[in-house]
Chain A
């Protein structure tokens, strides 16, 4: 490797994105070239200094007042629901969109609260077993819900509930696939478990609505 080539690779080297072959060649060159070593030291010093800059800088003037005034004019955008024209269906006094979001947050609450990320094999098995159980339990509830929809001549309320459960299913699917990709991640396992518990809860509510119609 020529001195010129080596100089071109120093940035990628400190960023850790150099191919192993180039790393070897650069390593050999550095051993023989004080100029490149000096260049590398300077570069590293700069990158270290940048990383050491304070993360926090407080603005000199109050920015909150201006923000708060603007919040009024910025209603919250909820994730779009299919075929939902008007208000969100209300479950137990809580807008379903909010409920979904809250469960997401609830899940993340568990995510954040769990300090331990790596879990042993047997825990992964337990979670996997749990999912199977919940699948079965949900399936029962869903069958009952579909039956109730048919028996009620497509009650608007129940149809909406079914749609809402489908939205939760999408979220559930995502969390399951994330967990499958990282089966030892306790946080993800918990995320899935909590989503299921929420879905079951909603199905139970649907059953109560069905029995009252």
Chain B
């Protein structure tokens, strides 16, 4: 399929539907973020008696679960449409996926907004939200599963039509990400369907808290990889085209995605390191498995910078760093994801601290963690998603990213970088000093420690305000690209292989093998500890409504 041909209208409409929800979520969630930082500064009170934890739940659910999932499913549909095509029937199922997810979102969001689900996006038992909250979340997941199977089917049909050919790289990557998402979300879906819904409706008297948390984190870590892999797709297979280069290595890209699939799931205990009731040896085993992701991460870093250098040198830029200076800094499609990559360096370093068996105790549940994922998700991933949106949205609407909008995009990127540097750095420092996360403003017992925390919370409000300005600007750019920019053809950039590239080994597409290893690793890491948790479970927990104001 030609990259410069636009999608048929009815196809583009499906992909755009996901983008509209994404950017609506950004606005709503971003506003909550701003209110959180203002409230935590101690200088402002939330108006109309709004509860801090209501808006925090909205922020976490809408940005962490809704925005990300909608963008990813929509972007991946567009990638599949471009590389392997979509049939009419598949497109109809795509719409069913969209509506199921949207209805689920609306049900969950309404339940939160009326104050019946102040449980935060992790909804830890035995805090009990209204059943509609869990049902809404379950619908979002079921909707995403429909997308999973449509994507699988798309690749399968293409394979049948092109026997013996290797699948397009981006289609392969989408399939890996969806396989991971499906295997991982089985955990949280089991917990929601078997534990939470019957218990919240009163059919089950009690709930096994530790088991529900273990199932949640079996899902929770791969969730962050589900956010990250689409960014990697852009780094591996789209950015090279934007800077005028070629794919570094098709095989290495596939290999690193396979490793990410294998080592993303059997690692959830690194979120539960300070919990009672879990054998520390199993915690340690999962810590070791967690660190295996260092391998694909280093491979990714290498191939990205190698692409930059090879491309620059081919264009004739000399000297040790000549190629670096000449990267297309003024092209927002490059700059935004590039800053995302840079943010991943401190983000990754922080992640090493978090996952370390012992150092984790220092930062667990402090605001350091919030600083960490605003670098990784809310900068690395989000700036890459913005970088994608700058060309994807006009490509879908038959418009162009004009020089003026490009410039606004660059300003947006800078605002985001400044705001996030301030907010995230002050969160990291406050966290190291013991300041807790997920907490409204409080003087606690007073004293020096607390007043130091508060001064960092004021800095976070400054950063948060700058970030919110960035969000307004991004929404403006999105509306322009969606409805007002001049008509034209915006390129859908997909990098090609070198003409003399090594052939990709067949084994890299042996799905039985890779999914088999993934499942084996999961069974190894979880079977014994989960049996232990079930065998030694204490009396279950009754539901608690009043602590969340119900």
Whether A and B are associated in the same complex: the answer reads no
Residues of A within 8 A of B (CB): none
Residues of B within 8 A of A (CB): none
